[in-house]
Structure 1
Amino acid sequence: MVPCYNEEESIPLFFDAVEKVVHQMEPTIEYWFINDGSRDRSLSEMRKIHSQNSDRVHYVSFSRNFGKEAALYAGLRSANGDYVVVMDADLQDPPEYLPEMYKLIISGEYDCVGTRRTDRKGEAKLKSFLSDKFYDVINKISDVKIVNGARDYRMMTRQMVNAVLSLTEYNRFSKGIFNWVGFKTKYIPYKNVERVAGTTDWSTWKLFKYAFNGIIDFSEAPLSIATWFGGFSAFVSIIGLIVVIIRHFVEPGSSAFGWASLVCIMLLLGGIQLMCLGIVGRYVGKIYMQSKHRPVYIVKEKK
């Protein structure tokens, strides 16, 4: 299954590249393209390929853009094969690894064969730095461990796919979900491959928000940090109060340290309180969205 957002140029190139590889493989291949509310002619390209290969190529088109996580979920729900592969349409997930992945998974030793990038050649240095730090942080504060450089590109057994689909949460972070459900996974390393066409929609800011959502979804550490900040500020306030009382008796008639210091302390404590409320608010917001029981996506067209 292939999630797509504004991949008009990539889709035909992707299909041709994968076809060259899968013709060498034994099993029957079925394609599921997921149009995540693209604003270009991605849907037209899907319709074209479907009309030429209606028995093997299918597509699902959303009513609007719901995000890659929704597209991944829709693709996994649509695919009904014994083994399911997740790939990006931009060919940054090299199709030539498919035979090796299939050989490993049919051996019965693994439930999932994933891929991971060993470098980030071609990416902006800031984006690469933040990505590396994200893996360091989430692996320290979460029970779910994510391999650095792991891609969504993976082949899974039907049992594992069903386990992933059993998690019906509204706020999804697939990299964490794939690891949370367990199952034995083998990772194939490869060097970074640049997009075959088009431009990425993942800006540094979007990646940052995505990473932060992943931390919120799979760790309670931010709540602990808020608690520790509150405790620390309360402790400092008590120490400050003791100092003021002692100073009053040691130097009778002396004033406090001045209005400037008082304002700074108030701003510091106010900032800490707002930050802690913001962290708690993120968790409450996710609970609120989950409680609405809204669908993860809405389908407009399906073939």
Structure 2
Amino acid sequence: MKLLSVIVPCYNEQENIRDFYDELMKNEAFFKERDVDIELVYVNDGSTDKTVDMVKELNNKDKRVKLVSFSRNFGKEAAIYAGLEKTAGDYVVIMDCDLQDPPALLPEMYKAVEEEGYDSVATRRVNRKGEPPIRSFFARMFYKMINRMSKTEIVDGARDYRFMTRQFVDAVLSVKEYNRFSKGIFGWVGFKNKWIEFENVERRKGETKWSFWKLFIYAVDGIMAFSTIPLSFAAFTGLFFCLFSFVFIIFTIWRKLAFGDETNGWPSLVCIISLISGIQLFCIGIVGQYLSKTYTEVKKRPLYIVKEEI
């Protein structure tokens, strides 16, 4: 009998733990017919509510429910990686606990892997119904930007909801980066991939833990992880202003010889100095971001620390 490991990163999701389990197990009969057993691994990312207690209650009733609990909040990327490391299923699927990833898609995803020969089946939303318009706008802009800047394809609307073979999971685990951007890593490792589209499903209970600022930081991390274009931008900007300065020096000398020394023009000079100084600081900031990522990588700190495991 083969094993399907379901990884569920959760942070303060006490309202959804039981509902998710009930919805997932509606697929139990389908997988039993195909000699596939299910294990459910909740990865508690430092929750401060009763998430852990809810998972333990489920474990008492069903030993297929397992728990990996962090010592603090390390972030969703760490939770995904921990889930991939702690599971040994022939198939592995990552799902959000808030039921925005429909469990009803699992049979279709399984068939795509088992019958159609795909190594990975990923999902994407065809719309963003229920999201604030400003957040949807910036999300679309991010995907357009990163796909122009990166050689790795990152699909607009892509979810972390993904059904994978063991070979695909092992390939993802071989990428040992500390600063992880899973959407990019999934595309970078390659293999044969299929996309399934679905209408956006709003969170059933509770509130999202992703603020606009957190999403912005996550987007910046994604760009830094899979593109060096910002560094090229900084270099070309510096080259442009060097050429501009050279031309301006020639113009200043010509004006001096042609019209004599004039004292007016200092406001424009201040504006130019402020502009160039601002651009210099911006470019230094870009370099600093890449340097900070390198700094965190070379320290070799663990991606997560487990406090409790059942």
- TM (norm. structure 1) is 0.97
Write the deviation string for residues 135-178 of structure 1: whole angstroms up to 9, x where unpaired.
10111110001111111101000000000000111000000000
Q: Does 1:50 align with 2:59?
A: yes
Aligned-pair CA distance for 1:262: 1.7
Which residue pairs with 2:270 in the alignment? 263
Q: How is 1:219-298 mapped onto 2 (pairs within 5 angstroms)?
A: 219-255=227-263, 257-298=264-305
Aligned-pair CA distance for 1:252: 1.7
Which residue pairs with 2:145 in the alignment? 137
Q: How is 1:81-96 mapped onto 2 (pairs within 5 angstroms)?
A: 81-96=89-104
The one of 19, 30, 38 aligned to 1:29: 38
Q: How is 1:51-130 mapped onto 2 (pairs within 5 angstroms)?
A: 51-54=60-63, 56-130=64-138
**Equivalent position amino acid for 1:89 in 2:** C
Tell me the distance in 2 between the aligned counterparts of 1:40 and 1:83.
31
The one of 13, 17, 27 aligned to 2:23: 17
Tell me the distance in 2 between the aligned counterparts of 1:132 and 1:298.
34
**Equivalent position amino acid for 2:300 in 1:** H
Tell me the distance in 2 between the aligned counterparts of 1:74 and 1:298.
9
Write the deviation string for residues 51-92 of structure 1: whole angstroms up to 9, x where unpaired.
1112x1111000000000000000011110000000000000
Aligned-pair CA distance for 1:20: 1.2
Aligned-pair CA distance for 1:243: 1.1
Tell me the distance in 2 between the aligned counterparts of 1:205 and 1:34.
24
Tell me the distance in 2 between the aligned counterparts of 1:178 and 1:271.
37
Tell me the distance in 2 between the aligned counterparts of 1:150 and 1:22.
26
Tell me the distance in 2 between the aligned counterparts of 1:49 and 1:246.
82
Which residue pairs with 2:167 in the alignment? 159
Tell me the distance in 1 between the aligned counterparts of 2:86 and 2:216.
29
Helix, strand or coil: the match of 2:99?
Answer: coil
41-50 or 81-90: which moved more? 41-50
Aligned-pair CA distance for 1:128: 0.5
**Equivalent position amino acid for 1:50 in 2:** N
Paired residues, what number?
A: 301
Tell me the distance in 2 between the aligned counterparts of 1:5 and 1:228.
42
Tell me the distance in 1 between the aligned counterparts of 2:131 and 2:52.
28
Aligned-pair CA distance for 1:22: 2.5
Tell me the distance in 2 between the aligned counterparts of 1:253 and 1:10.
75
- Segments of 5+ residues of structure 2 without an aligned counterpart are 1-6
Aligned-pair CA distance for 1:286: 0.6
Aligned-pair CA distance for 1:259: 2.1
Helix, strand or coil: the match of 1:230?
Answer: helix
Tell me the distance in 1 between the aligned counterparts of 2:126 and 2:20.
22
Tell me the distance in 2 between the aligned counterparts of 1:3 and 1:96.
19
Aligned-pair CA distance for 1:108: 5.0
Q: Does 1:202 align with 2:210?
A: yes
**Equivalent position amino acid for 2:278 in 1:** G
**Equivalent position amino acid for 1:218 in 2:** F
**Equivalent position amino acid for 1:15 in 2:** Y
**Equivalent position amino acid for 1:164 in 2:** V
Tell me the distance in 1 between the aligned counterparts of 2:125 and 2:247.
50
- TM (norm. structure 2) is 0.95
